[in-house]
Amino acid sequence: MMAEALDPASISLGIGAAVTGFLARFPDVLCNYQECCRPEWISYNKTGLESDLQSKLFGQHVASRVILKAVTDFMNNENPKKPLVLSLHGWSGTGKNFVSQIIAENIYQRGMKSRFVHLFSNTIHFPHEAELKLYKSQLQQWIKGNVSACPRSMFIFDVMDKMHPGLIDSIKPYLDVHETLNGVSYRKAIFIFLSNAGGKEIMEVMLDFWKIGWDREKIELRHLKKALALTIFNNKNSGFWHTSLIDENLVDFIVPFLPLELKHVVQCGRADMISRGLKPNEEALEQMARDMTDFPHDERVFAERGCKVISSRLNYYI
């Protein structure tokens, strides 16, 4: 008995259904192999962030508390009214860039390498003041395009105090309370501004506490708020001087980073040696820390350059 001939129309329908089914599953298959704007690639790890802040960030109990609460409250809110905007202030080497990295690593599977995390450097991306108008347009388009592709995008602006006045004003609408702007919602994005502005004022407050013998760990955000606010508004060299980000309450948290002391430099050095697979040399670490604890000149309480140069300095001591 001969097999019944297949109907060409049925074959076509079957192939069409198979193709349609594959295309419907294609995003799921693709996201197994490349980063996508989906929960398997973007998922907040509160336990991880808390652990990293406690074990990897040295001497910054104030910043750790503020950042953990700010990020946790924001990421747990399915419908935030505005993006999360953090402004981190303090001396170079106190951990501002490092904290940005820690935050990224506990939200994005690929951390700072994620295509949804964007780092802007004034000297690299906005070097020429004459091109300010072009930079503004490019920055707006970059943010709009990336948030359109993934609402959970993160934007980090380094060295805000050196940024051309007015540049950040160009993105001010994206930081405010809006349902959408031209059809795009920015409410789930994160903006982090890093600035050396305020470092001197924070140090002076810390030095006053040190002189009266007050425990560093008892210093709270309220003790630093006034000095930090004054320097941000009065510093004409700061990128915030010509902006109204803070005045219009667009910055959610101003986060101070304290100057580091000898024990913190030792901790940074120890962590660096361990990361290289080396056994920590405590004598060398202590000597390096003593040589770096150099400010103010008479008291020699704080390491003016923090932990930023630890890796290169260690090579000399070990």
Close Cβ partners of 236 (under 8 Å, ≥ 6 residues apart)? none
Could you tell me if residue 127 is inside a domain?
A: yes
Residue 243: per-residue pLDDT: 63
Token reading at 49: 């962030």
Question: Do 200 and 51 have their domain in common?
Answer: yes
> Which element (helix H / strand E) includes 295?
strand 293-295
In this prediction, residue 239 carries a pLDDT of: 56
Same domain, 137 and 83: yes
Q: How far is CA 25 from CA 17, 18, 31, 40, in A?
A: 12, 11, 10, 16
Domain match, 197 and 306 both? no
Buried b (16+ CB within 10 A) or exposed e, 220-254: eeebbeebbeebbeebeebbbeebebeeeebbbbb
Number of structural domains found in the chain: 2
Within a domain: 70: yes
Query: Any known ligand binding at 199?
Result: no
Direct distance between the N- and C-terminal alpha carbons of the chain, in angstroms, rounded to an integer: 88
Any binding-site annotation on 96? Answer: yes
pLDDT score for 133: 93
Same domain, 289 and 244: no
77 and 183 both lie in a single domain: yes
* 97 labeled binding residue: yes
pLDDT at 227: 78
**What pTM did the predictor assign?**
0.88
> Which pLDDT score, from 0 to 100, does residue 12 have?
57
- Whether residues 296 and 200 share a domain: the answer is no
| 205 and 289 fall within a common domain | no
Establish whether 95 is an annotated binding residue: yes
**Does 3 reside within a domain?**
no
Cβ atoms 116, 108 nearer than 8 A: yes
Q: Are residues 265 and 245 in the same domain?
A: no
Question: Which of 256, 278, 295 is at the close of a domain?
Answer: 256
Rounded average pLDDT per 10-residue block, the chain, 318 residues: 55 53 57 92 98 97 97 97 95 95 98 97 88 94 96 94 81 91 95 91 90 91 83 62 73 94 95 94 94 85 89 88
What are the percentages of helix, strand and coil residues in the chain, rounded to 5?
50, 10, 40
What's the domain range around 291? 260-317
Q: Distance between CA atoms of 230 and 153, rounded to whole angstroms?
A: 31
188 plus 307 within the same structural domain: no
pLDDT at 41: 97
Helices (H), the chain: 8-30, 46-56, 61-75, 96-105, 122-125, 132-149, 172-175, 199-211, 221-234, 262-275, 282-292, 310-317
Do 245 and 138 have their domain in common? yes
Quick one: 137 and 281 in the same domain?
A: no
pLDDT, position 10: 58
The confidence score (pLDDT) of residue 1 equals: 46
> Is 93 marked within a binding site?
yes
Statement to judge: residues 222 and 280 lie in one domain: no
Six token digits for residue 35:
């980063």
Count of CB atoms within 10 A of residue 288's CB? 23
Tell whether 40 is covered by a domain: no
- Which of 224, 240, 256 is the last residue before a domain boundary? 256
Residue 214 annotated as lining a ligand binding site: no
Q: Domain for residue 38, yes or no?
A: no
pLDDT of residue 308: 86
Instruction: Please check if 166 is assigned to a binding site.
Output: no
Q: Hey, what are 263's tokens? A: 């024990």
Q: What is the model's pLDDT at position 128?
A: 86
Q: Is residue 33 part of a domain?
A: no
CATH classification at residue 121: 3.40.50.300
At residue 22, the pLDDT reads 43
Annotated binding-site residue? 91: yes
Based on its alpha-carbon atoms, the radius of gyration of the chain, rounded to whole angstroms, reads 25
Which residue, 256, 279, 307, sits at the end of a domain? 256
